[in-house]
Amino acid sequence: MSSSPDEDPPAPTEPERWRDLDMLLSRPGNLVDANFAPSPGLRDMLGSLVEVLVVGAGGLGCELLKDLALSGFKNLHVIDMDTIDVSNLNRQFLFRVQDVGKSKAEVAAKRVMERVSGVNIVPHFCRIEDKEIEFYSDFSIIVLGLDSIEARSYINSVACGFLEYDSDDKPIPETIKFMVDGGTEGFKGHARVIIPGTTPCFECNIWLFPPQVKFPLCTLAETPRTAAHCIEYAHLIKWNEVHPGKPFDADDAEHMQWIYSEALKRAELFGISGVTYSFTQGVVKNIIPAIASTNAIVSAACALEALKLMSGCSKTVSNYLTYNGIVGTHINVSEFVRDKDCLVCGPGTLIKLDASTTLSEFIKMLEEHPKLLMSRASVTHEGDNLYMQAPEVLEQMTRQNLGVPMFELLKGATRATVHVTGMAENNGKKKSSLRKLRVAFNGVEEASKMDESS
């Protein structure tokens, strides 16, 4: 008897599901990594030993979770701060109408585990910044399905922060945290492999991302010409005039409805068409248009690169794959060059201190350093919190260290690597950043060498 078209097709048996993957992992080839050891048991080994973090559970994130689970990865985590909206349902295939208002991460994890046996996905319904840095250290690879430059930059800085260099400034292999970054916009997308210290990191090629479109306030206030101008007028000018001191919440339906109504009035006044509620949401929340087929194609590329990185079954892409489906299908691979002086994936900015320089003085130096310009800095060393700006309980616990010399806090090391989190200036804009710094003490190393020779 044939099944109803509304019913899900029967799930494949386990041998059928893994047949092609097992064949790929059990055969040698000309493009395999030098350390690749083909074996029928390699899939089980990947499943038990490799932990993968997927950042984002939206259109691309849903595809990534499904593809990674079907690529042999059994230990997955997913982190996303958003809840499911009705507008997500046309392309985020793991969600249903009854899921509206629920956590994307939790629902996506549940749905994939229901369909792929043996896979365990741990959801995290929170901001990526809410997790301690050590949370990210547990993962062998991080796969990004984000639509935010700021979020990508933060995860990139966290992953590169684990990278250590030897005395010859060469990356230490066991400290490398692999990343695969995917992104889509309409019919375009990219998949990128990031091997900190070897390939360019996100910050090395941040110029690839065009600046966000901004409108002059004089145009919004006096001569609007497009629907977007009318929406931004209601958002940036009219809201503050009518609701002084009341912050606008883009996730509040009543707030968004008010913006839409005011933008519509503005558009009618100037004879401008095109203001709709969905377009208002897109302009105010900077929503990037998404198409399900693009998400599927880019996710497949990202999952394949993750499998190649973790198994060595083939060479990885070098190092930036682009997809364009606007006219036909165009896929291209470009190899970008790493910035050896990158503040994020490089050996770390060298800061020279006197042995008497206190932690408080060190933090002040970071504000004035021309490359860093970092304010409200929190400082850690080898997992120990030297000083934390927040939360308040940690600030109180570490405040006593502010007057202690850095040489003492670093346990007499002549050179050391510290990690600093704070607000850094980038193109005139302050954003949360993580920086790795190499600290050296003036005269201390030379003195210790003299003691050894005497």
Structure tokens at 385: 């919190």
Peptide bond into 319 cis (omega under 30): yes
Cβ distance 193 to 319 under 8 Å? yes
Q: Which residue has the tokens 């985020």?
A: 92
Close Cβ partners of 406 (under 8 Å, ≥ 6 residues apart): 353, 357, 358, 359, 362, 439, 441
Rounded to whole angstroms, the Cα distance separating 174 from 428 reads 36
- Catalytic annotation present for 218: yes
Close Cβ partners of 348 (under 8 Å, ≥ 6 residues apart): 165, 417, 435, 436, 437, 438
Catalytic residue among 62, 160, 201, 218: 218
CB atoms within 10 A of CB 342: 19
Rounded to whole angstroms, the Cα distance separating 297 from 191 reads 10
The partner residues of 55 in beta bridges, in order of sequence, read: 79, 144
Distance separating the N- and C-terminal Cα atoms of the chain: 92
Close Cβ partners of 215 (under 8 Å, ≥ 6 residues apart): 228, 229, 232
CB atoms within 10 A of CB 277: 14
Cα–Cα distances (Å) from 356 to 258, 349, 381, in that order, read: 58, 20, 18
- As to burial, measured by CB atoms within 10 angstroms (0-12 exposed, 13-18 middle, 19+ buried), residue 362 is buried
Strands 75-79 vs 429-441: parallel, antiparallel or unpaired: unpaired
**Residue 155, amino acid:** I
CB atoms within 10 A of CB 345: 28
Rounded to whole angstroms, the Cα distance separating 367 from 20 reads 55
At residue 357's C-alpha, the angle toward residues 354 and 360, to 5°, is: 155
Structure tokens at 387: 């000083």
Residues involved in catalysis: 218
